Amino acid sequence: MGGQPLLLTVITFLPLLSVVALLLLRSDDHLWIRRIALAASLAEFAVSLLLLRGFDASNAAYQFTEYHHWIGEAIHYHLGVDGISLFLVLLTTFLTPLAILCSWESIHTNVKGFFVSLLVIETAMIGVFLSLDLFLFFVFWELTLIPMYFMIGIWGHGRRIYAAVKFILYTMFGSILMLVAILWLYGLSGTFDLDGIQQYLTVTPLPHTTELLLFGAFFLAFAIKVPLFPLHTWLPDAHTEAPTAGSVILAGVMLKLGTYGILRFCVPLFPSGAAEMAPLVGVLAIIGIVYGALVATVQTDLKRLVAYTSVSHLGLVILGIFAFQATAIQGAIYQMLNHGVSTGALFLSVGMLYDRRHTHEIKEFGGLATPMPVLMSFFLFVALSSLALPPLNGFIGEFLILVGTFLDHHVWASLAASAAVLSAIYLLWAYQRVALGEVTVEKNRTLPDASKRERIILVTVSLAILFMGIASPLFTSRMEASVSNVVTRVRASVNMPQSAIGRETPSASFVKAILAREQQ
């Protein structure tokens, strides 16, 4: 679109290009490796901001599209961005420089390999968000695995090998069945192109069992990635054993590949399958929300605690998607972004503690606000954003999801709302045990407060949190067209009433009033 025909290709492959530059450097030249990696990721962020300038918020179609033949007649290099993927790309390019900065001093071995892995992951993740060809999508999807596998396995802690292998086997199991489903779709429609398949499926509805099987194959792959209860068991291990940057990328972006996939492929391609399975998925999501929160509460390992919050928060995102309401889905996308920034920030703070004490055990901390007031204040701020305190970012997302879900599913929404209470319990309790009271471990008295580099990281994420809390319409307005497009399509194909807001139920008019106030 417009004068930037190659913008998406540049955004996708710029990190990979900088990998080439890194490979040319001498392996022991750590300083320059770090500098170039950081410069490349910042440049990438700057370039990705260009997307905002040319993006047309009123257009529900894919923008900046690129379309070239690749293999044979059926497989194309097809990229495009819409309101659903736009901010996820920005989230990726925003978090990568922070991940690089936070590894500045904590990574000593094989520094080059580390930053190469990080940048390859960035390319792969952006590729997943931008691909509009199922083959291309799958290539990028699988490409995210290997560098993350190395990242956990080489630079991780403790049981890193176990965690790395578990991570990769779980994900591969899901994705290989998705590959079969992709091939099946190709066999039916004769194309790998998302638009082409969409058109085919609109014209020729699938038989009931086929639809359910295909939905199931796609959904399983994504649900493992998210992860949806009960497929979540790889997550605590992977997140806990990964190095800080790995956890930030894993929790910040990689989990969203799953929710994004559900929203981009599962729901629009197989609407009646999705509608049929929605009750089951909703129940699993709610179990995940409550279970993740409860398990997080009893953790003694700070990083594991943060890991379990992801199970809870992403359950909420899935719930929002399967409410099939524009409000809830906007909330779900917004919550993906929030979770990326807030949980990323939590992992960053926990990583800073780890750099100082080389432990994640909560009982090793206590009273840390005394020696390091700055770091602990930021920790509190980030925790508050994660537990959805208004007017921080988490609140908007959770609120939109709950409001949208409430329209059709009062019980779901009420149960899911417990997440707000539970997250306050586990996060504030964790903060209390880590930061407040007397210093319990003697070693902690002399810990240095946040360094200049750490302050840059913390200030950046805090500003993002605040900005996303206050200026949410800047984000949601750009999602609106694409989201309502999806919702309309799903509701039309399963004969649901187009919008519950149209029906004058008490709850609907309540929501309407709130939404009207939101928009003023």
Partner 1 sequence: MWAGQLLNLHRIAPELHLVVAGIVVMILDPFIGPTRKRWLGWVAFVGALLALLSVHVAYDSRGPAYDNLISTDMFSVFVHAVVIFAAALAILGSLDYLEREGIQRGEYYALILFATAGMGILAGANELVTAFIGLEMSSISTYVLVGFRRRSTESNEASMKYFLLGSFATAFFLYGIAMVYGATGTTYLDKVQAMLEGSGTVPALAMLGLGLIFVGLGFKVVIAPFQVYGPDVYQGAPTPVTALLSSAPKVATFALMLRVFYVSFGMVSEFWFWVIWISAVLTMFIGNLAALVQTNVKRMLAYSSIAHAGYILVAFAASTTLGVAAVLFYLAAYVLMKVGAFLIVTHLGQRGETRLEIQDYAGLGSKEPVVAACFSLFLLSLLGLPATAGFLGKFFAFQSALDSHSTHGTAIIWLVVIAAINSVIGAYYYLRVMVSMYFAEPTEDYVPSSVAPALGFAIFVAAAGTLYLGLLPAQVLEFARTAADSLPLH
Contact footprint for partner 1 (CB under 8 A): 70-72, 110, 138-143, 145-146, 149-150, 153-154, 160-161, 164-165, 168-169, 172-173, 176-177, 179-180, 183-184, 186-187
By beta-carbon proximity to partner 1, the closer residue of 66 and 82 is: 66
CB–CB of 136/77 below 8 Å?
yes
Token pair for 307: 């890991």
With b for 16 or more beta-carbon neighbours within 10 A and e for fewer, the 71-80 pattern comes to eeebbbbbbb
By beta-carbon proximity to partner 1, the closer residue of 160 and 491 is: 160
Residue 109: CB minimum distance to partner 1, A = 9
Residue 126: CB minimum distance to partner 1, A = 16
By beta-carbon proximity to partner 1, the closer residue of 180 and 471 is: 180
Peptide bond before 391: cis, by omega within 30 degrees of 0?
Answer: yes
Residue 70: CB minimum distance to partner 1, A = 8
By beta-carbon proximity to partner 1, the closer residue of 208 and 363 is: 208
Residue 146: CB minimum distance to partner 1, A = 7
By beta-carbon proximity to partner 1, the closer residue of 182 and 348 is: 182
Contacts of residue 298, defined as CB under 8 A and 6 or more positions apart, other chains included, come to none
Residue 188: CB minimum distance to partner 1, A = 10
> For residue 450, which amino acid is it?
A
Token pair for 394: 């988490």
Residue 287: CB minimum distance to partner 1, A = 26
By beta-carbon proximity to partner 1, the closer residue of 143 and 283 is: 143
Give the other-Cβ count within 10 Å of 410's Cβ: 11
Sign of torsion, CA 99 103 107 113?
positive
Q: What are phi and psi of 308, to 5 degrees?
A: -70, -25
Residue 252: CB minimum distance to partner 1, A = 23
By beta-carbon proximity to partner 1, the closer residue of 110 and 377 is: 110
Token pair for 509: 């008019």
**Residue 501, CB-side half-sphere exposure with 13 Å CA sphere:** 14
By beta-carbon proximity to partner 1, the closer residue of 15 and 366 is: 15
Q: Find the distance separating the first CA and the last CA of the chain, reported in whole Å.
A: 32
Distance CA 330, CA 478 (A): 10
Residue 209 burial class via C-beta count within 10 angstroms: exposed 0-12, middle 13-18, buried 19 and up = exposed
Residue 8: CB minimum distance to partner 1, A = 19
**DSSP per-residue string spanning 20-58:** HHHHHS-TT-HHHHHHHHHHHHHHHHHHHHHHHHH--TT
